[in-house]
Structure 1
């Protein structure tokens, strides 16, 4: 329809004379023009010039648009016509409305003249007096009896139908209410059962109308502490559902594997079977708790492994590799419960499997100990506030286990070395008491602690590990002590050997003290035993045994000329018949060589020694050597024979 128009039905919004209060206007002026203090005549003139320039630009733009204004003339004329039509239509509607109002007011003036007079127009009051128009109810024609019966039957049917509908609704509501009561009863019974089993049930922090169960650990890091709270939802039948949120549906565990020579030789096993989602609510809570605990454990292991690069610990493809020995490597990773079990292979070893299980148990116990330490720090008086943010230190989970493995490797090496070298002395017929080993003596000492017994055991595991080896030498009142100390938590880091001597023959001999390399320890002990053998050969006891009842003046004795080099001299009246002995010892064997030296004093070295061409030598090897050893005289018998042999036979 061409003459149709649109009429707005919403009232026009009239602007107030003063839309804003004076303080608001002052604030607007300050934000737009600046403070009143900065306003002066020059600033205002500059503002006026800017406005003139801007108005000039606008006038130029309007001149460019004058051509288009000629096309708008017809549109303005049409707009004025439509405006006049709208005004006429509004006036007509207003008149009709006033006529209707006067008619209703005149009818009501018969019964309420005062109220009706207020709504009547002045023209109607002059033309028609009040109460001149009235109304009455006309009695309708009486209905027939059949129609009355029909109306009564229909009314009765409607009432019966409404009653049936109301009854059905009430029955349905009762059934639904009964189902809701049963569902709520089951939900609250299962919730109370969860609470009775020791789980903490409380309202959710952000949803006060919902309940949640705290299955995580409150002393964990904030990331895993927040994930340890899950809401308890209700199913349609009232069963309790655990909203696990970010927890994975499949249980995950930290797996520990031991590799020997590049092949897997042992692995940890699960301490309990995996939980099924279809089991009881407690099983699902336990599964969620273990999953969060294992994820936090692996997270803390990764954090600690990043700081242990100096010990050879590496991170590769979510694997933590720990070099425990030359051919032994520990691998840790986070896998699903279906992959957490270790499948024994041809290279599997029961010892390595026990080692993996022990390591798996130890890292979990250490994480629980760290949680208890966090609780203890949280319950104490907090330290003073500082602007520097306090960082959360990494837990010591891998360090104690790695320290144990390193210490055990060093202890086994030292035991093997002492067993070999003392076996060499026994094969040479030297009566030695061997050595005594007190392995892990720090764990055997009584540990005074105020903590609980369980925490006291863990504290001993976190302390530096020490083992002590003591042994007596062939020389009377002489001994040695080796203390093996391993610590990865406090300096000095790593494994150190504290070697000390008590040598009566050489009281000025200084102990090497702390050594950090096994080769240095081996050299120090080998040198000590060399001095001990040289001291024993040149001792008075061996001289008395060599004399065998002869006149001491006719019996020669060995003198240690270069004891640190294992060289002894048997002097002779003939300057060219001096006899020399060279003693060497290692963990593979003991060698003694005697020869003549043809120089004046017999103590020359190098080219001045002038050895004989037919030396006498004996070698005693370790019993663990694979070479077959024939029966041969002992060291004392060999020395006695060389002492009593005339020099002319050389």
Structure 2
């Protein structure tokens, strides 16, 4: 609104603040601020000053300078007249110094401020602008207009000065002209409003139906999810909260299942917990991100001659591995698969660690996830960590594999090796648990450190044991078969391989603080393994002969050690008074390989045959002397034998014990007994990768003019006569 339309304004200038002291304290402070303070004020100077003020003049007294006295007089003079004079002088100086236009604008601004506030603004705040003044006037006008209808709400924005000046509800407004509204137009507006209302109601109904359908789908999805979780829980798995994870989308805390092993290596303990995620359709699936996302299994392959003869792979899921969101997926089966995966990964980790110390046994890594262990020159075992999807179909990727892995001849061996590896790792977990829970003496530390578990070494020892038992049995069998071909029908052997079972340890495990029968069985597997061959080379007879011609029998024991060196040692055992000690005493420390054992058996067999048939020759001569006393020729022969025996010069053994000769008549035929390995058969066995020490043996009986040979491997070239007939013919 215009400036002239408002109420009359006061043109009085803003009051100037009084510069005189307001109180005695202010006066004292001002005096102290002067040079010298109260110390420069004397009674004489005060009297002179009072007189000067009374007379209207100021004189210089008290030894002070004129300028200082004048300044002090001006400060101390607190009369209104003096202050008024000073103010007028200051105003005159300010007016003379200001620009006229600036002073005009300042006056106009002060007028506008006075119109609004009717009071002087504080000197410390800058004056408001014209725009803000207009805005405040507009706000006051609208507030005053609304105060007639809603005084409570309008009083919140109405200024206090305007309320005191004109009051509340003093301004009103009315409509001058009525609106041009007809009944038809009113009905149209009502119809439009009803249409809009119906449209909004329909939209609200559709939104409610969509929300109900969404909630129904969410309820069904949540039901499927929790049904799967409860199934895992009821199956015995530990369901717990995943730290910092999210299991059901909107849930603040995630659910997971713990399928790992508490006594595993630290790097595998952290991977033993996986969250259970919820798919879009509510089907729960296991997040195997920490395990690589792909189930893996340990596959054992047995190769001989470059061809696979045995294979062991576990039966796993056949759903292409990785489509965890498939509706038909079984969560429990996937948890079990995750458990098998982490177990296979830990087993592979421990196998690679142990393989570093088994290079002497031809164990070496062939690839990143492939470990090769040589069984002999022609056979090897391959351990691989493969994805479960390719573990059963890897045969198709390798052209040398057979089409039907289930019918391979060495599948049992491969499966036994795979099961043994899993059992040994489980036993290592059990040992870690016993070390953790059992009390130990204070001086024994509980720290386990980086202990390398024994997993491959027992497998190597067991394979070596089987190969040694097979080779030793073949060696002794060839010797016995050779003697039987020569007519020694009493020669035989028996193989004994003690194999304890869980039932053997069940009784010992019944006591308190005793390991279970299964643990005892595994411990027995880690001990040295024995096999025994009870050998009877020659039938029994008179055991009192000094030449050792009695019953020749002994036991060949093979023992396979795991530590410190995995090897098989052979020992020949016999009672203290056995004939074998007189013929050829066995080496008490045993024989380190099969070739040394074969050499000993050849020597003892040759000496036993020579001593046996020498004893039979003497017995036959003695029997012939008693039966044929009436025959003159027989009587002469018997008499000759008796004379030779009396002189100590009859049929005797040679220096090596393998030859029968006549002690007096050197021209008579001599029999040489030789038991040796067949060189051709040994070379063929070595070419086939078998132990040459277990090759076929042959027995040779020879004189100076003729020889007879019996062999177990070559029956066509063997002599047709028996050994006894040859000896009777030569020594007649």
Equivalent position to 1:320, from 371, 378, 382: 371
> 2:301 corresponds to which residue?
257
Secondary structure, aligned partner of 1:536: helix
Counterpart of 2:339 in structure 1 is: 289
Q: Where in structure 2 are the equivalents of 1:220-231 lying within 5 Å?
A: 220-231=264-275
- The residue that corresponds to 2:426 in the other structure is 368
Name the SS for the 1:146 alignment partner: coil
Aligned to 1:526: 602
1:58-116 deviations in whole A, cap 9, x for unaligned? xxxxxxxxxxxxxxxxxxxxxxxxxxxxxx9994547876897799899999999xx99
Instruction: Say if 2:571 is the partner of 1:498.
Output: yes
Choose from 410, 427, 434 the match for 1:352: 410
- How far residue 251 of structure 1 moved from its aligned partner, in angstroms, is 4.1
**1:570 correspondence with 2:605:** no
2:173 to 138, 145, 157: 138
Secondary structure at the aligned position of 1:582 is classed as strand
1:47 is aligned to none
Q: Which residue of 1 aligns with 2:257?
A: 213
CA offset digits 1:470-520 (Å, max 9, x no partner): 2234343543222111132x3453212122344437459353432221111
Match of residue 635 from structure 2? none
Quick check: 250-259 or 449-458, which moved more?
449-458
Is the counterpart of residue 513 in structure 1 residue 589 in structure 2?
yes
Judging changes above 3 Å, is the alpha-carbon distance between structure 1 residues 267 and 176 closer, same or farther for their aligned structure 2 residues?
closer
Per-residue displacement from partner, 1:101-140 (whole Å, max 9, x unpaired)? 799899999999xx99xx99xxxx9xx9954676534344
1:273 offset after TM fit, Å?
5.6
Displacement of 1:417 after TM fit? Answer: 1.0
CA apart distance, 1:391: 2.3
1:559 aligns to 2:652 (yes or no)? yes
Q: Can you list the C-alpha shifts for 1:400-436, whole angstroms capped at 9, x where unaligned?
A: 2222221111111111111111222223333434222
Q: Work out the CA distance in 1 between the residues paired with 2:716 and 2:384.
A: 46
1:188 corresponding residue in structure 2:
226
Task: Specify the alignment match of 1:479 in structure 2.
Answer: 553
Matched, 1:397 2:447: no
Bigger mean CA offset, 319-328 vs 497-506: 497-506
Do 2:607 and 2:673's aligned partners in 1 also have CA atoms closer than 8 Å? Answer: no
1:309 aligned residue: 359
Structure of larger gyration radius: 2
Q: 1:191, CA displacement in angstroms?
A: 1.9
Matched-pair contact (CA < 8 Å) for 1:467–1:484: yes
Aligned-pair CA distance for 1:643: 3.7
CA–CA distance in 1 between the matches of 2:362 and 2:370?
Answer: 14
- The residue correspondences of 1:12-31 to structure 2 (distance < 5 A) are none
Assess if the C-alpha contact under 8 Å between 1:266 and 1:353 holds in 2: yes
How far residue 330 of structure 1 moved from its aligned partner, in angstroms, is 1.3
1:434 and 1:472 in contact (8 A); partners too: yes
**Distance between the aligned counterparts of 2:597 and 2:254, measured in 1?**
67
- Taking structure 1 as reference, are residues 293 and 506 closer, same or farther at Cα in structure 2, changes over 3 Å only? closer
Distance 1:544 1:444, change over 3 A: farther
Q: Is the 8 A contact 1:537 1:558 kept in 2?
A: no
Q: Deviations over 1:434-471 (max 9, x none)?
A: 22210245669934444444444433333322101122
Distance 1:438 1:444 in 2: 19
Shift of 1:168: 4.7
Relative to structure 1, is the Cα distance of residues 92 and 428 closer, same or farther in structure 2, using a 3 angstrom cutoff?
same
1:601 equivalent in structure 2 = none
1:589 aligns with 2:701: no
Q: Deviations over 1:586-629 (max 9, x none)?
A: 243222334xxxxxxxxxxxxxxxxxxxx244323123225433
SS in 2 for 1:562: coil
Which deviates more, 93-102 or 502-511? 93-102
Among residues 444, 451, 469, which one is paired with 1:411 in the alignment? 469
Whether 1:232 and 2:276 are equivalent positions in the alignment is yes
Deviation at 1:531, TM superposition (A): 2.8
Instruction: Kindly provide the CA deviation profile for residues 310-341 of structure 1, in whole angstroms up to 9, marking residues without a partner as x.
Output: 11111111321111123221122223433535
Give distance in 1, aligned partners of 2:522 and 2:581.
Answer: 44
**DSSP-derived class of the 2:221 partner:** helix
Cα deviation, residue 392, structure 1:
3.9
Q: 3-state SS of the aligned residue for 2:590?
A: strand
Distance of aligned partners of 1:274 and 1:402 in 2 relative to their CA distance in 1, 3 Å threshold: farther
- Tell me which residue corresponds to 1:466: 530
Asked if structure 1 preserves the Cα contact closer than 8 Å seen for 2:498 and 2:531, the reply is: yes
The equivalent residue for 2:329 is 280
The alignment status of 1:331 with 2:382, answered yes or no, reads yes
C-alpha displacement of 1:225: 3.4
- Return the offset for 1:187: 1.9
Residues in 1 aligned to 2:207 and 2:408: alpha-carbon distance in whole angstroms? 72
RMSD between aligned residues: 4.3
Partner of 2:493: 435
- Give the deviation of 1:558 after TM superposition: 2.5
Aligned residue pairs, count: 524
Any conservation in 2 of the 1:546–1:643 contact (CA below 8 Å)?
no
Mapped to 2, the partners of 1:360 and 1:275 lie a distance apart of: 24
Query: How many angstroms apart in 1 are the aligned matches of 2:243 and 2:300?
Result: 37
- Match of 1:609? none
Partners in 1 of 2:311 and 2:173 — Cα distance? 105
Cα deviation, residue 181, structure 1: 2.4
**Matched residue of 1:513: which SS?**
coil
Aligned partner of 2:682 in structure 1 is none
How far 1:201 moved relative to its partner? 1.8
Q: Which residue of 1 aligns with 2:619?
A: 544
SS of 1:194's partner is helix
Aligned match of 1:620 in 699, 709, 713? Answer: 709
Instruction: Give the drift of 1:222.
Output: 3.1
